[in-house]
Each structure stands twice: as C-alpha cells, then as structure tokens.
Structure 1
Amino acid sequence: MLSYRYRPSAAKTSTSTSSKKRSAGVDFVAPRLRKLRSGSSSLDLPLATIEKTPGKVYAFGTGDCAQLGLGESVLSRKKPANLAVLNDKNIVDIAAGGLHNMALTQDGKLWSWGVNDQRTLGRSGDEFTPLPVEGLDDVKVVKVGCSDSLTVALTDDGHVYTWGTFRSAEGILGHSKEKEVQELPTVVPNLQKIVDIATGTDHVLALTSSGQVYSWGNGQQMQLGRRIVARRMLNGLTPESVGAKGMVRVGAGSYHSFAIDKDGKANAWGLNTYGQCGDENPKAENIPSVAPIEALEEERFVDIQGGEHHTIALTKDGKVYGFGRSDSHQLGLGYTETPGSEDPASHKKAIRKPTVIPGLPAIQEISVGGNHTLALSKEGDVYAWGFGEMLACGNGEEKDVETPLKLKGQQIENCRVVKVAAGGQHSIILAVPAE
C-alpha cells in the first residue's frame, strides 16, 4: 500500500493526497495458511504474515516527519539503518503507512512510530522513537496494516481493531459514525472470523474465513466497491460486503482494491484513471464493483497491491507484473510509456497493459509504497524501484530508479531480509543473520 499524507511542515514533499489501491479444476494452490487457535475458536490465517524467526528492523528514506524511528535528529537515511530500540523485542512483522509504521512482536504486541496527528500510533509519547501501542493487552495481533491516518490490526481470534481516522478530499471524514478520531485500539463491531486485511490511503478491506470481502472508509473513488452518496459519506464508515465470494486474499492501492480468488485469479475495483485496475480502456476511469482483471486471466496470483496510481502483482511462480502510472518509473520497466503506444491517455505516462517486470529473480513478497516498490526474493534479497527523490529506494541517490535495483548497505551485508514494507516517503525491512 499506499499512502501519502504529508505534514505541511515537512521539508520535502511529493504528491499529496490530502490536497486535492475463474477456472475451476485448475491445480492452483491458494496461499498457504496456518491454523491458529484462541480458546475454542480456530481460524485460517495467512502464513505469509507470520515470520518464525524474530529479526531486526532497518529503515531508510526521508524521516523529517518521524517515520524512520531513528530519533529526532535523523531526517533521512540513504541506506538501511537499524532501529536498535527494537533489537530485543522479537519483531516478526512490519507495516508502513504514509508517515507511520508498526512492528509486530512474536507474542502479538505492537510497537509504533511516526506521525501521530490523528492518533495513528495508538498511544501518546515520542513520535520519533518506537514505543508500545496501548490497549491491546488482552489480544494477540497476527497482522497489522497502516493506511494514511488509520491503523488496522487483525487478532488471532479473527477480530479487527482500528484507531486513528479516515480522510476524504475535504479533510477528516471520521473513524466511525459515532467517533471522529479514535485514540486507542477499538474492535470493529459486527466483523468476525476475519483472516486477512488490507489498507489503502483511506479505506480498509477485510476477508472472512468463508471468502467474503468487506470494505469501509472513504468511497469517493469507488474503492469500497459500492456507491457512496456524497451527502451520506459517513455510511462508508460501516463495513459492508463487496459481493465477492470464494476469495483467499485481499490487497489495496491508495484508491483501488483487489481480491484474489481460490483459483488464483485477480479481481479489482476503484480508481482506474491510469489503468491501475487492469482495465486498459482509458475511458474507464472507475471500476464501480468487483471485476476480474481479464489481461491477467492466464496467470495465478498470490498477492496484488497498489500505490497511489499503479499496481504490482505477484504470481505463484514468482513473476511480478506492473501496470498503471509510470512517470516516476513506478513499474520498474525502464520506460514510462508503452513503446509505440497511440493510447490517447499516454500523456499521463501510464502503461495500461499489465507487463512482466524483467530483471528480477523469483520473488516471494512485494510491498508497494506511494510511488515505489520493494520486492523480496526467495533468497532474501530486496529489489527496489520507482520514485527516488525521498531516498525510499535505498539506492543512496535522490533520483528515480528506472529498473529493479538490488538493495545494499553496510548494516545489512551479512543479513537475509524476511519482510519488506514500503511507505509514502520511506521504507522499512526486517532482517535476520544470513545462514
């Protein structure tokens, strides 16, 4: 995912969203699931969200809004830098939002850092240093997602907790119909048996154990899969089904949404101005409800995520596709328009046809930031590409990365990366000692 709200006081900024993500019988194996138990309940939760071996967290990119977690004096890092305060916390997963981050411990607790303007950290105290999220003492978190001004946590018994607020083009929309800003984690009512979550800039998706997808938040770009009347925008803050069945994973871009079905087929809905929903028709500016991505129907996918206006999709066999906006090389293809294209919308620098990104080894995990992407290989190497002015690609230079570039750094020389998380202007990774 995904998001880009910037503080007005930030020294550097890029595009800001506050101004104004079939065939039966095919031998596809759904993303592996791990059975977790809590009391008498038992739910299938994505294995990919849980790392067995605790690791160390590293950050790089721009940190003038506290998003690096390296202290108030560190405003940027060109290469991965260790967050020493988390080294003994047994961190097994990470998540990055526009300007804040979460780290998940082995025993299901959260540590947060970054901008706390709308209480996205779920705690009070220093923004520049990781500190424990409050109010989750009696639950075990197994997955966490960061949107723009909201944080979402999934527990081992299938409940969802949220805190912070949603925003719309007009400003703060609210956390719920009853609460404008939620300061501490609170359970989302009427949602249960949830096995996966995904966050866009200002919307959330939740997948049930029966394969249904629920959405809530801001629906101005049809990212909720249902029409929200302007005078009743608060209705979008209540989770409702998008009508999809048989899904096994959800994903999100800033203003568009995804779901993968049990046969590995990718579906999308929401904003499509650059073809980021996989619909190549330049007149299809929005996809109002769940629709299959026909250009990808021959492939089987295990993950699909979006940035502000682009999309990255990962196949079962480790190939990576890109489509959507490309003016900052968000797609890693080495060009910003399809060569020879006569697409009338080509002036928008978009590659609407889903295209395999060359130059990558077999990939096991992706994370899509606002305008950059991190891809983790099965060997534990990280590849980055896209918008580079904020140093979020870790290449050490303030320029765009046109094609996938292997991440290097003195502090990770003898490490194997196990998790990646791309934010709005920064990136974080989780690494363990190389074997």
Structure 2
Amino acid sequence: MVALQRKRKADDSKNGTTKKIKSLTNPSVVLHSYSKLPDINEIPKRKTTPLDIFVWGTGSMCELGLGPSAKNKEVKRPRLNPYLTEEHLNGTKIVDFAVGGMHTLALDGKNRIWTWGTNDSSVLGRDTTKVKEVLKDADAESSDDEDGDLNEAESTPNLVENFKLEKDLKIVQLAATDNLSALLLSNGEVYAWGCFRCNEGLLGFLRSEIKIQQTPKKIHELRNIVQLAGGKDHLLALDSKGIVYAWGNGQQFQLGRRILERHRYRTLEPQQFGLYNIKYISSGDFHCFAIDHDDNVYAWGLNQYGQCAMTGANGELEDGSVLTKPTLIPTLSKKNIIEIAAGEHHTLALTKDGDVFAWGRYDMKEVGISSDKLPESTFKDQHGKPRSVPTPTKLEFNSKQEIKMKAIGVGSHHSFSVTEDGFVYAWGFSETYAPGLGPILEDVETPTRIVNTATKFEDIYMIGAGGQFSVSGGVKIEDEDKAEERIEKYEELED
C-alpha cells in the first residue's frame, strides 16, 4: 500500500499431527522431510458469488477504474463501476478482487482477470502504452496536470494478456502489493508479475535476471500453496503442510529473517523461515501475522507504532523498532481470530464471534477509538498527544446495541468493518475521500456507517483498499421489505 502525505487544504492435534509439525524446528529437516509431512491445510474453493463492484476515493493514478474522464478522479462515496457490470462482462460478474497500493485485480465468473490502476511496474499484466494521447488546451485557464484526462488503458478495466489456463484449473485467490500482482490456482501453483521495490528503488522480480515481469510467470519454488498475503513490496505464501514462505523486500524484517546486502537478490526467491503448523497468514505494508492450528498468533516486521501488538518490557515504543523474527503475541492468541487486515502502521482483527479489535497508529484515527476511551497502554508523544495504541482493543460500533461483523478491510491509513447484514462502517484518514463518507474535512475518529444511494440496498460481502482509494463488492437485496427493515434498524440505532 502507498504511504499518504497530507494535502495542504482444520485441527489435527488429536492424531498427533500438530505435535509432529512443531517438533520439526530445523528448516533443513523440514525441507528434507517435506514429502512425508501430512497435509493440514486445504486449497480453497474458488469464489462464485456474483458481485456488484463499488469504488471511491482519489483516483488521480487511475485507481478507480471509472474511465479516463478527469471528473472521475475524486469520488466521495461508493459508486458502482459501470465497466464491471454483467452487461459489460458479457454475461458474468466479478466474484473476487484484490487491492494493491494503486491498482486492483478482479476475477470474474469465467475465470478471467480484469485489472486497472497505475501500470508503472507492469502490475496490470497488459500493455497500456498504445493509447491515444490526450493533449491539454494550452490556452485553458488552469495549467494544473490534475485537470487532464487519465490514461484510457489504465483507468478502464481490461483483461490480463497472454495468460490462458487449462480448463480444469481455476483461480482461487488474487493478491496485490504496491508493485506486483499474483494469483493462486486450484492446483496450488502461484503466478506473479510486476516487480518488488526497496528503499533504494527497483529491487527486481527474479534474482538479477528479471527486473520487471510483464506477464504472469509461474513461481517454480512454490507448490501446494493454499493462501497468499501481500504487503507493500513483499509476499507471503502458506502451503498445505502449514509452512510459510516469504519473498520480496525484507529491509524491515517483513520476510521474517535478517537479509544481508550481498544476498539481496536471494530475497526474490520464496524461502521458508521457520514457521510451521500455520493455518492463516496476513500482512500489512511492513508487518506480518500468522495463526497456527493451536490458535497462537505470531507477528514480525516493523513495530514502531505497536502495529504488531507488542511493546518493550516496560511498555515502550521506539521509532524504527522491529520484530526481527516471528514472535508469539499473547494478547491475540486464543481469541478465535479468523481474519487480520493491516495497513501501513495499524491492524484490525476479526473474531469468529464477529468482534473487531484494533491497534497501532492513532494520529490519523486509523484505529477507530475515541480519544475519551483510549486504553491505559496508549503511547503518547512528548507533548502528551496520543501516538499509538499497542494493545488490541475491542471496537464499539453502536452505544445502544452490539453489532456483529463479518468482514474487515484497511487502506494505508483508513479502515472498514462490514456488518453481518452487509452495511459498512468506515473511519480514519479522510482527505482523499477513501473512507467513503463524503467531503469530510477532519479525519474520522470512530466507526461511522456509510450512507449513500448506490449501496443502500446492497449486502456488502467484501471490502479492500489501497493508499487513497477503496473497493467493495456486494449483492443487491431483491426483497424490498427486507431491505427497508435493514435500513430502519440502523436508523433507529443511530437516532
């Protein structure tokens, strides 16, 4: 995800499987015995629910996929993307999507991938250079580049090129970083394209041989993969044996191991780093999480805002502090967490019971906790202003009645939670309109329900976000009485 600048204006422990996996702490032993290890994770089934796709935020880099018109650069509330309707997709709809820093991948019901957004690193998997250049009127009153139209090929969703699958293979997951795109197939294979970047600039795609990969390329080091998780410029992969792999930029220890400069290109090849018996993985920009089959949660990577839910022995936080390797997080373990979503410096977790916990950076209101309800562990700067909340804190969505959630999503500095009946609550950095709450001048401190015409009768299923924009997918509620009852319920709670 892209950092923002403010503008001026299955548990097998009973049969001994868990014990066996845990005992294999030597990486060389695990790799040598790989074929003998039991499968403890299953490759997911492809998603099939047809979704209406909504986009909003700032799309100056073509992020919204609403076409080249300059008027579509800022969308303050969710808007249906007309290029992703059943009519434009020839009788099908989008069933899944993944959001990167400035681009989006979407999977349709015919097993095809549509992409849009900035294509500087070839993340769209197609050529966007052969478009008619739109010249600005030199005599126009404004000379601001933002007044010009967008690149038509980047701002309009289109299909990934030169990628065909065997009929029996299905795409079961998409993943996106700032500069790379990836997909997981039903046979456990992974394909990727684009590149990784680091503090010094371009890092590359594969060793020193490929700097930027133009089209989907198979990652041969990976097999039996069941899940992918993308950060800013790194990827995690989990396999059927419960082993985690990482590759890309590791300068903030997001690869779970120390990277020596002389071996920097080796980071472009997936490697395991000592995590076994894992059932779920997730990643923020520079920090990562894994949950094992005993419901223990581990974190690693950048932690200067407590985004890993860990502080020093005396509760201290320091700029640039990191967890250099996967570290057990007691405050997150044994809570039945089923989903973790992380941004640049903050994190959300969703439990099986529908509760949402938040922690990390506070100054852009990313964590959704009001200033009068901050926990005692809140870290304050030298002026006494809240800087971060390192302790996972349960969020309150309504003071009258507890509201349960079914999905969460985050951008770099803004956050979302989706209720069980499909309404979206948003909060955080608002100057780019990414929360979808309209032209709000101040950052949104606490979860606020998105109210707009486009999604009024939509049951939102999933949501994601990048640096300054957001995407959601939902299903229209056809029963008008049920839709009205849902609206009335929330209006009464908010009176």
Give your verdict on TM over 0.5.
yes
Q: How many Å apart are 1:342 and its aligned residue?
A: 7.6
> Which residue does 2:177 correspond to in 1?
147
Single out whichever of 419-428 and 399-408 deviates more from structure 2: 399-408
Matched, 1:410 2:453: yes
Structure number with larger C-alpha Rg: 2
1:171 to 176, 194, 201: 201
Single out whichever of 53-62 and 231-240 deviates more from structure 2: 231-240
User: Do the aligned partners of 2:6 and 2:431 also contact (CA within 8 Å) in 1?
Assistant: no
Cα shift readout 1:22-55 (whole Å, capped 9, x = no counterpart): 9978xxxxxxxxxxxxxxxxx82346xx543211
Counterpart secondary structure, 2:331: helix
Structure number with higher strand proportion = 1
Quick one: distance in 2 between partners of 1:362 and 1:318?
5
User: Do the aligned partners of 1:258 and 1:305 also contact (CA within 8 Å) in 2?
Assistant: no
The 3 A distance-change label for structure 1 pair 340 and 196 is closer
1:57 to 39, 50, 53: 53
* Residue identity in the other structure for 1:198: A
User: Do the aligned partners of 2:44 and 2:172 also contact (CA within 8 Å) in 1?
Assistant: no
Q: How many Å apart are 1:262 and its aligned residue?
A: 1.5
Greater RCO (CA < 8 Å, at least 6 residues apart):
1
Structure 1: 5+ residue runs without aligned partners?
Answer: 6-12, 17-21, 26-42
Single out whichever of 63-72 and 406-415 deviates more from structure 2: 406-415
> Which residue does 2:231 correspond to in 1?
200
The 3 A distance-change label for structure 1 pair 376 and 135 is farther
Q: How many Å apart are 1:298 and its aligned residue?
A: 3.9
Structure number with higher helix proportion = 2
Counterpart secondary structure, 2:43: strand
User: Do the aligned partners of 1:109 and 1:136 also contact (CA within 8 Å) in 2?
Assistant: no
User: Do the aligned partners of 1:337 and 1:349 also contact (CA within 8 Å) in 2?
Assistant: no
Quick one: distance in 2 between partners of 1:418 and 1:210?
29
User: Do the aligned partners of 2:55 and 2:78 also contact (CA within 8 Å) in 1?
Assistant: yes
1:367 to 409, 414, 426: 409
Counterpart secondary structure, 1:179: coil
> Which residue does 1:97 correspond to in 2?
100
Quick one: distance in 2 between partners of 1:334 and 1:133?
43
The 3 A distance-change label for structure 1 pair 91 and 336 is farther
Matched, 1:266 2:297: yes
Say how many residue pairs are matched.
403
> Which residue does 1:84 correspond to in 2?
82
Percent identity of equivalent pairs:
38
Quick one: distance in 2 between partners of 1:408 and 1:69?
22
Structure 2: 5+ residue runs without aligned partners?
Answer: 15-40, 129-152, 479-495
User: Do the aligned partners of 1:274 and 1:348 also contact (CA within 8 Å) in 2?
Assistant: no
> Which residue does 1:294 correspond to in 2?
330
* Residue identity in the other structure for 2:354: G
Q: CA RMSD in A?
A: 2.3
User: Do the aligned partners of 2:175 and 2:182 also contact (CA within 8 Å) in 1?
Assistant: yes
Matched, 1:358 2:396: yes
Q: How many Å apart are 1:335 and its aligned residue?
A: 2.6
Counterpart secondary structure, 1:296: coil
> Which residue does 1:245 correspond to in 2?
276
* Residue identity in the other structure for 2:118: V
Q: How many Å apart are 1:276 and its aligned residue?
A: 0.8
Counterpart secondary structure, 2:416: strand
Counterpart secondary structure, 1:221: coil
User: Do the aligned partners of 2:298 and 2:326 also contact (CA within 8 Å) in 1?
Assistant: yes
User: Do the aligned partners of 1:263 and 1:300 also contact (CA within 8 Å) in 2?
Assistant: no
User: Do the aligned partners of 1:386 and 1:401 also contact (CA within 8 Å) in 2?
Assistant: yes
- Residue correspondence of structure 1 range 20-419 to structure 2 within 5 A: 44-46=42-44, 50-73=46-69, 74-88=72-86, 89=89, 90-125=93-128, 126-138=153-165, 139-177=169-207, 178-281=209-312, 282-283=316-317, 285-335=321-371, 338=374, 343=379, 349-359=387-397, 361-398=403-440, 399-419=442-462
TM-score normalised by structure 1 residue count: 0.88
Counterpart secondary structure, 1:294: coil
Single out whichever of 360-369 and 151-160 deviates more from structure 2: 360-369
Q: How many Å apart are 1:311 and its aligned residue?
A: 1.0
Single out whichever of 94-103 and 257-266 deviates more from structure 2: 257-266
